[in-house]
């Protein structure tokens, strides 16, 4: 029994097919100066062919089942022809007088190494984009051959070391019951693709390829993150039963997701989506999100690293979000760079307390103004709202507003988009009444609020048990923010992970929160939880929780109710 990270839910039993997506071998050849022009032309032709081939796969994948995959392939097609990328390779061809294959691998390595330095796993995984694209261009340089099997037997479980979007496009998803990968993480493309296909998937399973015997029936339980590589007859039978039960539950959940979330006593709770990548946009429709509650725009910044994204590139991204939201709000958080996200600024000794979030933007007005300009240009396309991360003081909001007003005037808007404040630093929670006067809405980021209030690094496993977003001290802060928002007529939502936690939802609704924003795949489960609640009763229990002595006390209060 192997264990990995479950990234797309479900249970499947099927025959293991082990696939190796071979890379293209790279050789180095020295060129004479007379050969350099031809070599650059060869590179550019291969890049064009790779882009065409990726676009072809993208069109084939699009239309329903593979929308996310189509979007990723389209993005890869753009990277393949991106001038920053191609000039970096061409410079190597000329500077080092080497063949295109070598220069390509070398440039991809360097881009990858830079991204690999990022602290955030999501960003490290973006290095995979460059590797995937380089592999496609490399394939074209070597004549466009591929060793990927086009047709797997029906009912296969795909077992591989990793899966690039282009490799995924070469598979027929109707033949695959589940995907299990030795590598990959929660935000890797394989994850997005598996979710897009609605297929159970487990990634990051060490020793997988060596442990699985080809053609043998295996049980993939992506509810528990386990892969049974040598099941007995009895375990196979139980796997089949569970697969059926889980399919039935998912069907119920889908019908729940499509309906609005209303508590038993009639409180309507809005559930929006937290997005990081444009590739996730089709999930808005699939999971019936009531808009985007948090777009982590720093991922746009990462994607165009080492340069920062220009006005038009950003404008196109924000317009795409607004179009997909179909009139619902789209809340774009300005770059939350620095800190544990590890991009942008030098990190210093204590990055979480350093030049990050809004502080970084105010210190780099060129980057901030470009983003605000793009946001203001996109704003007429829908209900766009702007959210400021890591606010600690009123003066920061005032300064940001000045930048926004300038950008709005330049874009010819009669009034700037609504400007909201993320409440994720204790000083912001405790100044909520003052902040309400300077801003239009609040979004509580419980992930950071817990980190800063409890002095517990949210990513450090050594103190993970002390990371308790249900701590009464945090609930008291949330309550203060709700009251300040109410007094000033400012909407208050929660976009941290607490909004997807079953007890967290009950506590938040009890504290007066009626807008939640969660990762798209959690929208159904959150709604399922909301409809079981009685908001009046939750408010009484939340009152008790505010007087509790610690987080376990809070849990006890709410668990007792659910029994
Ligand atoms: C938060 O801090 O709760 C939040 C939603 O932002 P992030 O997780 O991106 O820091
Ligand atoms: Mg945060």
Kindly give the distance from the C-alpha atom of residue 390 to the centroid of ligand 1, in angstroms, as a whole number. Answer: 9
User: Are 367 and 375 a contacting pair, CB within 8 Å?
Assistant: no
- Closest Cα to atom 3 of ligand 1: 445
Helices (H) and strands (E) in the chain, counts: 23, 17
* Cα-to-centroid distance, 447 and ligand 1 (Å): 5
Per-residue pLDDT tens for 367-421? Answer: 999 999 999 999 999 999 999 999 999 999 999 999 999 999 999 999 999 999 9
Question: Does ligand 1 lie within 6 Å of residue 519's CB atom?
Answer: no
In short, whether 340's Cβ falls inside 6 Å of ligand 1 is: no
Ligand 1 site, residue 297, Cβ cutoff 6 A: no
Burial class (CB in 10 A: 0-12, 13-18, 19+), 309: buried
In tens, the pLDDT along 34-82 reads 999 999 999 999 999 999 988 888 777 665 546 777 888 888 888 888 8
What pTM was estimated for this model as a whole?
0.71
CA 416 to CA 491: how far, in whole Å? 18
Mutate which of 392, 451, 494, 496 for ligand 1? The one with the most ligand atoms within 8 Å of its CB, which is 496
Ligand lying nearest the CA atom of residue 446: 1
- What per-residue confidence (pLDDT) applies to 341? 56
Instruction: Please name the residue whose Cα sits nearest to atom 8 of ligand 1.
Output: 447
User: CB-side exposure of 257: number of CA atoms within 13 Å?
Assistant: 21
CB neighbours of residue 177 within 10 Å: 21
Report, as ranges of residue numbers, the positions in the chain whose pLDDT lies below 50.
Answer: 65, 147, 346, 563
Give the residue numbers marked as catalytic.
Answer: 189, 495
Instruction: Answer whether 281's CB lies under 8 Å from 326's CB.
Output: no
The finding on whether 445 has its CB within 6 A of some atom of ligand 1 is: yes
Q: Supply the DSSP string of 480-536, one letter for each residue.
A: HHHHHHHHHT--EEE-SGGGGSHHHHHHHHHTT--EEEE-GGGHHHHHHHHTT--HH
* Dist CA 264 CA 256 (whole Å): 15
Q: How close is the Cα of 495 to the center of ligand 1, in Å?
A: 7
Q: At how many degrees (to 10) do helices 189-196 and 121-141 cross?
A: 90
Q: Please work out whether the CB of residue 339 comes within 6 Å of at least one atom of ligand 1.
A: no
Residue identifier of the C-alpha nearest atom 4 of ligand 1: 445
- For ligand 1, what atom is nearest to the CA of residue 495? 5
Distance between CA 87 and CA 118 in Å, rounded? Answer: 24
Distance 336 CA to ligand 1 centre (A): 9
What pLDDT, on a 0 to 100 scale, did the predictor assign at position 147? 47
List the structure tokens of 371: 């983003």
424 CB near ligand 1 (under 6 Å)? yes
pLDDT at 128: 77
Pocket test for ligand 1, best of 389, 442, 516 (most atoms within 8 A of CB): 389
Atom of ligand 1 nearest to the CA of 443: 5
Of 294, 495, 518, the residue with max ligand 1 atoms within 8 A of its CB, to mutate for a pocket test, comes to 495
Q: Is the CB of 333 under 6 A from ligand 1?
A: no
Per DSSP bridges, beta strands 329-333 and 292-296 are parallel
* Ligand 1 atom 1: residue of nearest CA: 445
Q: 68 CA distance to ligand 2 centroid (A)?
A: 26
User: CB within 5 A of ion ligand 2: which residues?
Assistant: 424, 445, 448
Please indicate whether residue 493, judged by its CB atom, sits closer than 6 Å to ligand 1: no
d(CA 477, CA 460): 24
> Ligand 2 centre from 263 Cα, in Å?
28
CA of 128 relative to ligand 1 center, distance in Å: 24
Q: Which atom of ligand 1 is nearest to the CA of 274?
A: 5
Q: Which atom of ligand 1 is nearest to the CA of 424?
A: 2
The verdict on the CB of residue 356 being under 6 Å from ligand 1 is no
Give the closest residue (by CA) to ligand 1 atom 6: 445
Which bound ligand lies closest to the C-alpha atom of 274?
1
Residue owning the nearest CA to atom 9 of ligand 1:
296
Ligand 1, closest atom to CA 296?
A: 9
Q: Is the CB of 551 under 6 A from ligand 1?
A: no
What is the rounded CA–CA span in Å between residue 176 and residue 174?
Answer: 6
Q: Which of 500, 494, 502 is nearest to 474 (CA)?
A: 494
Ligand 2 centre distance from Cα of residue 230 (Å): 42
Ligand 2 center–CA 195 separation, angstroms: 25
- Predicted pLDDT at 346: 47
């Amino acid at each position: 029994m192997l264990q990995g990270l479950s990234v797309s839910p479900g249970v499947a039993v099927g025959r293991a097919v082990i696939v190796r997506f071979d890379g293209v071998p790279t050789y180095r050849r020295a060129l004479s100066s007379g050969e350099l022009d031809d070599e650059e032309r060869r590179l550019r032709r291969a890049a064009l062919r790779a882009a065409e081939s990726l676009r072809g796969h993208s069109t084939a994948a699009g239309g329903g089942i593979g929308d996310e995959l189509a979007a990723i392939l389209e993005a890869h097609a753009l990277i393949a022809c991106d001038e920053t990328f191609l000039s970096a390779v061409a410079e190597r061809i000329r500077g080092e007088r080497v063949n295109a294959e070598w220069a390509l691998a070398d440039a991809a390595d360097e881009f990858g190494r830079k991204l690999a330095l990022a602290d955030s796993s999501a960003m490290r995984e973006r290095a995979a984009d460059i590797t995937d694209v380089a592999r496609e261009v490399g394939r074209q340089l070597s004549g466009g051959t591929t060793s990927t099997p086009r047709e797997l037997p029906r009912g296969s479980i795909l077992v591989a070391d990793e899966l690039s979007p282009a490799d995924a496009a070469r598979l027929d998803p109707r033949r695959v019951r589940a995907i299990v990968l030795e590598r990959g993480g929660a935000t890797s493309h394989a994850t997005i693709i598996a979710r897009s296909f609605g297929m159970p998937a487990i990634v990051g399973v060490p020793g997988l390829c060596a442990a699985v015997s080809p053609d043998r029936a295996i049980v993939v339980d992506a509810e528990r993150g386990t892969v049974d590589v040598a099941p007995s007859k009895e375990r196979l039978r139980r796997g089949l039963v569970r697969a059926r039960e889980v399919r039935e539950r998912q069907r119920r959940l889908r019908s729940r997701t499509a309906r609005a979330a209303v508590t038993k006593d009639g409180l309507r709770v809005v559930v929006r989506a937290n997005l990081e990548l444009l590739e996730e946009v089709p999930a808005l429709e699939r999971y019936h999100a009531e808009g985007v509650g948090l777009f982590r725009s720093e991922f746009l910044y990462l994607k165009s690293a080492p340069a920062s994204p220009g006005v038009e590139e950003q404008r196109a991204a924000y317009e795409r979000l607004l179009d997909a939201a179909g009139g619902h709000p789209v809340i774009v958080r300005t770059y939350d760079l620095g800190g544990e996200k590890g991009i942008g600024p030098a990190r210093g000794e204590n990055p979480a307390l350093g030049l990050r979030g809004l502080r970084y933007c105010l210190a780099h007005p060129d980057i901030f103004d470009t983003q605000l300009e793009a946001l203001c240009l996109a704003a007429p396309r829908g209900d766009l709202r702007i959210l400021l991360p890591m606010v600690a003081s009123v003066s920061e909001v005032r300064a940001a507003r000045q930048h926004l007003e300038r950008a709005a005037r330049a874009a010819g808007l009669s009034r700037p988009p609504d400007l909201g404040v993320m409440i994720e630093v204790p000083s912001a929670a405790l100044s909520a009444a003052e902040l309400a006067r300077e801003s239009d809405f609040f979004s509580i980021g419980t992930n950071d609020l817990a980190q800063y209030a409890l002095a517990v690094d949210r990513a450090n496993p050594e103190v993970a048990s002390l990371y308790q977003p249900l701590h009464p001290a945090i609930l008291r802060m949330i309550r203060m923010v709700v009251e300040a928002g109410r007094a000033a007529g400012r909407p208050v939502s929660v976009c941290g992970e607490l909004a997807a936690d079953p007890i967290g939802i009950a506590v938040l609704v009890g504290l007066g929160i009626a807008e939640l924003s969660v990762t798209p795949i959690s929208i159904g489960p959150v709604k399922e939880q909301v409809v079981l609640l009685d908001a009046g009763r939750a408010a009484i229990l939340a009152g008790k929780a505010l007087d509790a002595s610690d987080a376990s006390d809070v849990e006890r209060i709410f668990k007792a109710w659910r029994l």
